Amino acid sequence: MSHLQKLNQKILNESQLLWELEACRIAGKKVVFTNGCFDILHKGHVSYLAAAADCGDVLVLGLNSDASVRRQGKGDDRPVNDFGARATVIAGLGYVDFVIQFDSDTPYDIIATLKPDVLVKGGDYDPAEADVNSKKYIVGRDVVLANNGEVKTIDLVAGFSTTGLINKLKK
């Protein structure tokens, strides 16, 4: 099997991922979930995902669909890279075990389905925030905590953002 085929085997649909995670849990592995657009991969993304992977044994990345990215109001030119391109780049990171697409505005439904042991977001969120209307609230927090899981944040690398990178390239 080629390296590209192995990489593509990390990009799964919901039923495939549930089957894989069942095997991981039987083996006693801790499942970590995080999500995002990851439109143009940069140092901040790579550092964040490496730290997320350190929170458990298996890292699942929920990747926004193209339509979901557009609905976030990041600009008419977003996403720069379509889902297939973004998923392939993310799956190429050795510590990302699985990638799954979600089309909703938030990853709540996929978190509720997967029930990860650890939910991770960036340091601009607050794992203790319980107000769902707060910008610091971590979507899916209630599901993970109800299943005796953990909700964690990871410090962001200053000076790195996709929007900032796009603006820099436009100049």
The candidate with the shortest Cα–Cα distance to 43, out of 78, 6, 93, is 93
Q: What is the average pLDDT value for the chain, to the nearest integer?
A: 93
Domains and CATH numbers, the chain: 3-170 (3.40.50.620)
Nearest to 13 by CA among 58, 85, 63: 63
Write b or e for each residue in 8-37: b if 16 or more Cβ atoms lie within 10 A of its Cβ, otherwise e: bebbbeeeebeebbeebeeeeeebbbbbbb
Q: What is the average pLDDT across 36-55? A: 95
Whether 83 has a pLDDT exceeding 70, the answer reads yes
Output 165 or 20, whichever has higher pLDDT: 20
Task: Say if residue 39's pLDDT is above 80.
Answer: yes
8 Å CB contact between 123 and 153: yes
Confidence class for position 166, pLDDT limits 50, 70, 90: low
How do residues 23-37 score in pLDDT, each as one tens digit? Answer: 999 999 999 999 999
Burial class (CB within 10 angstroms; exposed 0-12, middle 13-18, buried 19+) of 138:
buried
Reference 122, options 30, 38, 65; nearest CA is 38
Distance CA 144, CA 149 (A): 5
Predicted confidence (pLDDT) per residue in 131-161, tens digit: 999 999 999 999 999 999 999 999 987 765 6
Q: For residue 155, with 0-12 CB atoms within 10 Å meaning exposed, 13-18 middle and 19 or more buried, which class applies? A: exposed
- pTM for the model stands at 0.93
Report, as an integer, the average pLDDT of 13-17: 98
Return the pLDDT at 161. Answer: 66
